[in-house]
Structure 1
Amino acid sequence: MNIFRLAADMTHLISILVLLLKIHATRSCRGISLKTQDLYALVFLFRYLDLFTRYISLYNTVMKLVFLGTSFSIIYFMRFHRVVRNTYDKEQDTFRSIFIVVPCAVLALLINQERSVLEILWTFSIYLEAVAILPQLVLLQRTQNIDNLTGNYVFLLGTYRGLYILNWIYRYLTEPHYRQWIVWLSGVLQTGLYVDFFYYYFLAWRNNQKLSLPQ
């Protein structure tokens, strides 16, 4: 494992811990899209089905279990915790997730590396992760309710994707037969969705102002 992959994984983990910290510390999930969290849960669920079929390393197994556990913990708090669930911006979190889930599923059936159930589901998770942040970005744009922890959560998610691009470049240069076009193109698309957010995040940080996105 190279330093870029490790840094990306740790940044991803920190982003989730920041979100859990927000929920526990403030007893609130205001500004957080449940639809995005549901999509990420689907991503992890379908991507990590190989937990039951092959062992790669202790690190790999532990990280997969952590991402699954934390993802469903967040959903539990947002749906069922008697205090937290009352702070959910349900009226604003109205992005129609079906419009990205169905195209991703169709694309996975049509464009994949191997015609097997596990491979198609894995490919579906790659496509879905590329656009799973969309409900969250739309919610932040609608509500303008971006506290520091929520802004840092989204920023860390975008940073994690950027670090994975560096990981792919490194592996391409050091591993002669490393080619993953589906992963690369999906990852570049996903990182591109954060560009606008990054701009306003750094603008707010430079001017010491509250983060807000243009409507």
Structure 2
Amino acid sequence: MKAFLAVVVGMAALVFLRMVVQDHDNLFVAAEAVHAVGIAVLIYKLTKEKTCAGLSLKSQELTAIFLAVRLYCSFVMEYDIHTLLDTATLATTLWVIYMIRFRLKSTYMEEKDNFAIYYVVVPCAVLSLLIHPTTVHNIVNRVSWAFCVYLEAVSVLPQLRVMQNTKIVEPFTAHYVFALGVARFLSCAHWVLQVLDTRGRLLTALGYGLWPSMVLLSEVVQTFILADFCYYYVKSLVGGQLVLRLPSGVV
């Protein structure tokens, strides 16, 4: 039932965005802006509450990795507004990592953050070697591009594992993860609507083979990984609960 509702709501939101937003490229900028809002929530939590309880250091490290790789690709392949946005996001992510690893280490729930990151880094690296863009760029750049796309899709998994282990998610962590979910959906909507607007020509511009399909699949995977959590977040918000309690089996 939740999966059906997620598909219906997602389709309705796509139709709404297509009607309201004229330049669908702005959706990607909006996704970056929402991600920035999520980072701002983390900064407030870390500076004002002096605790990193409930946050996954491993998710932040994965985020820093794919942002660094994406920045490299952006500098050597296409320098634009996204480069500046990614630079700012990477800088704040590195600051969050520093706070968790050093300044607030005593509040870090290391035993709960037990997701082995090589479970996602290694498969993403192998997949990027097998399926990557077929553009005219250097092979290293094309593989790097694919790697950051795949890693971004699954970078939130350690954070979801922490929440699965604790079952109770305090407000600021919940707001941050919900912001990630919204950002992922906007990014996915950007790609889907761009494909529709160009009548599929965008996929051809990305190259041939499996790569164009993998780009879209990665965006969809990112969205649905967080869909379950977002459902309970909204349900909790409507119910007036300050602390989010997750039932067994969620995320």
**TM-score above 0.5:** yes
Q: Distance in 1 between matches of 2:70 and 2:142?
A: 9
The 8 Å contact of residues 11 and 160 in structure 1, kept in 2 or not, is answered as: yes
* Alignment partner of 1:61 is 2:83: yes
Match of 2:73 in 1: 50
Q: Distance in 1 between matches of 2:133 and 2:28?
A: 22
Alignment match of 2:202 (pick from 169, 173, 178): 178
Q: Distance in 2 between matches of 1:55 and 1:194?
A: 29
* Alignment partner of 1:71 is 2:93: yes
Counterpart residue identity of residue 213, structure 2: W
Matches within 5 A, 1:78-117: 78-81=100-103, 84-114=104-134, 116-117=139-140
Alignment match of 2:236 (pick from 194, 204, 210): 204
Could you list the structure 1 runs, at least 4 aligned residues long, displaced by more than 3 angstroms after superposition. none
Counterpart residue identity of residue 112, structure 2: Q
Corresponding residue SS for 1:31: coil
Aligned residues: 212
Normalising by structure 2, report the TM-score.
Answer: 0.79
Match of 2:148 in 1: 125
**Residues 109-166 of structure 1: CA distance to partner in whole angstroms, max 9, x if unpaired?**
1111137111111211111111111110110111134111110100010111111122
Q: Distance in 2 between matches of 1:71 and 1:150?
A: 15
How far the C-alpha of 1:106 sits from its partner, in A, is 0.6
Normalising by structure 1, report the TM-score.
Answer: 0.92
Unaligned runs of 5+ in 1: none
Q: Distance in 1 between matches of 2:83 and 2:68?
A: 13
How far the C-alpha of 1:96 sits from its partner, in A, is 1.1
Residues 129 and 54 of structure 1: is their aligned pair in 2 closer, same or farther, counting only changes over 3 Å?
A: closer
Match of 1:144 in 2: 167
How far the C-alpha of 1:80 sits from its partner, in A, is 1.5
Q: Distance in 1 between matches of 2:45 and 2:145?
A: 30
Counterpart residue identity of residue 141, structure 2: L
Corresponding residue SS for 2:202: coil
Q: Distance in 2 between matches of 1:20 and 1:103?
A: 31
Q: Distance in 1 between matches of 2:79 and 2:151?
A: 24
Corresponding residue SS for 2:79: coil
Q: Distance in 1 between matches of 2:76 and 2:151?
A: 22
Unaligned runs of 5+ in 2: 1-22, 204-211
Residues 52 and 199 of structure 1: is their aligned pair in 2 closer, same or farther, counting only changes over 3 Å?
A: closer
How far the C-alpha of 1:181 sits from its partner, in A, is 2.3
The 8 Å contact of residues 16 and 153 in structure 1, kept in 2 or not, is answered as: yes
The 8 Å contact of residues 31 and 140 in structure 1, kept in 2 or not, is answered as: yes
The 8 Å contact of residues 78 and 85 in structure 1, kept in 2 or not, is answered as: yes
* Alignment partner of 1:168 is 2:201: no
Alignment root-mean-square deviation, CA: 1.6
Alignment match of 1:192 (pick from 215, 224, 243): 224
Corresponding residue SS for 2:169: coil
**Residues 27-81 of structure 1: CA distance to partner in whole angstroms, max 9, x if unpaired?**
1110000011111111101111035425533x23321210111111111111111
Counterpart residue identity of residue 189, structure 1: V
Q: Distance in 2 between matches of 1:130 and 1:87?
A: 28
Q: Distance in 2 between matches of 1:213 and 1:127?
A: 27
Corresponding residue SS for 2:115: coil
| Percent sequence identity over aligned pairs | 37
